[in-house]
């Protein structure tokens, strides 16, 4: 969900208003670690060293409030005295978000006190920008 505080500046002639718009935007974003790490532990022989499968599931992170900017433009057309039709394009940029996660096989996966022989790492860097096209009809009293 994104909110913004912006202004419009444009030119009007007849029933048409063409404008540019821009300002401050902010929103709640959440980056989910989409990496999974799977494998086998042990040498495949009898316990306590038998092969045991392990994996980790992607884990969602808490939402963060990110601030950025928005810019775009649009056109409004007064179809009638009361009905206004609008077409707007906006580019919203809330910066970027990075997530580093790692996986380590638990020491007791085989039921013993074995050492950790398997590790995995992921680094995800996501650009939080997007484009919005909006079509609207407004009724003026």
Q: Which two tokens stand for residue 112?
A: 């013993």
- 80-128 tens-digit pLDDT: 999 999 999 999 999 988 776 665 555 555 555 554 555 566 677 788 8
Strand pairing category for 16-29 and 64-78: antiparallel
Q: Is the pTM of this model over 0.75?
A: no
Q: Which 8-state DSSP code applies to residue 110?
A: T
Asked whether 122 and 36 are in contact (CB, 8 A), the reply is no
Position 40 pLDDT exceeds 80: no
Domain residues of the chain, as ranges? 2-139
Mean pLDDT of the chain: 79
- Note the pLDDT of residue 135: 97
The DSSP annotation for 53-81 comes to EEEE--BPPPPEEEEEEEEEEEEEEESSS
């Amino acid at each position: 969900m994104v909110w913004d505080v912006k202004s419009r500046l444009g030119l009007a002639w007849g029933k048409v208003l063409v404008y540019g718009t821009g300002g401050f935007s902010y929103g709640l974003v959440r980056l989910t670690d989409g990496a999974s790490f799977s494998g086998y532990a042990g040498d495949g022989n009898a316990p306590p060293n038998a092969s045991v499968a392990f994996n980790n599931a992607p884990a969602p992170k808490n939402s963060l409030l990110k601030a950025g900017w928005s810019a775009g433009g649009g056109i409004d057309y007064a179809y009638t005295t009361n009905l206004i039709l609008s077409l707007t394009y906006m580019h919203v940029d809330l910066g970027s978000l990075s997530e580093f996660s790692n996986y380590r096989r638990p020491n007791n996966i085989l039921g013993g006190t074995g050492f950790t022989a398997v590790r995995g790492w992921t680094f995800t860097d996501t650009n939080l920008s997007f484009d919005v096209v909006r079509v609207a009809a407004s009724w003026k009293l």
